Amino acid sequence: RRADPRNLKHVETGSAALVLTAPLMPSSVLKASDLWLKHWFLGLNENTPLDFGGSLDQWCDFMNEVLTECARVAKPGGRVVFGLESHKDWPNLPETTMQLVNENLSSFFETEGLLLCPQPRVQLKDAQKERMRLRASERDVLVVLRRR
């Protein structure tokens, strides 16, 4: 079912053993069709731009709302996992997210850790059939929280 992650009224309180999401990053502007899960989760059509366009403080406010709603739907002992993309302008988002949880939502969640997910070495071919590799240092991170 499609929904804004800040308002999951269709999900019963304390009913989810696992919540998985990949929130928009600060200052991100993407076509919804580029990220089908976000497109589906937010109930957008494929031509709708996803424009967060916010500062880090606005992103933290957004994440606080998302995490509060995730706390409502997660059952005690359940997990909430956030996939955060590596981003050169926001290198500390995983740590910022964990700090947000520890400072504002510690009565709901215990942080279990960060899982680093190296990006696969994908070969891309351009018009001249030259291959490029993604930098090995780029990675995504999963933030894992346990509902108290």
Would you state the pLDDT for residue 84?
Answer: 85
Share the mean pLDDT of the chain.
Answer: 76
> Token pair of 46, please?
């494929």
Rounded Cα distance, 103 and 97, in Å: 10
Tell me the sheet residues that pair with 118. 139
Mean pLDDT of 40-64: 69
Mean pLDDT of 6-19: 92
Tell me the sheet residues that pair with 145. 80, 111
The backbone torsions φ and ψ at residue 84, rounded to the nearest 5 degrees and listed phi first, read -115, 130
Least confident of 12-26, 45-59, 86-100: 45-59
Q: Name the band, by pLDDT with cuts 50, 70 and 90, for residue 4.
A: confident
- Kindly state the DSSP code that residue 59 receives in the 8-state scheme: H
Rounded Cα distance, 63 and 59, in Å: 6
Would you state the pLDDT for residue 132?
Answer: 39
106-139 pLDDT, tens digit each: 999 999 988 887 766 555 554 444 333 344 345 6
Would you state the pLDDT for residue 80?
Answer: 95
Instruction: Look at the pTM and tell me if it is higher than 0.75.
Output: no
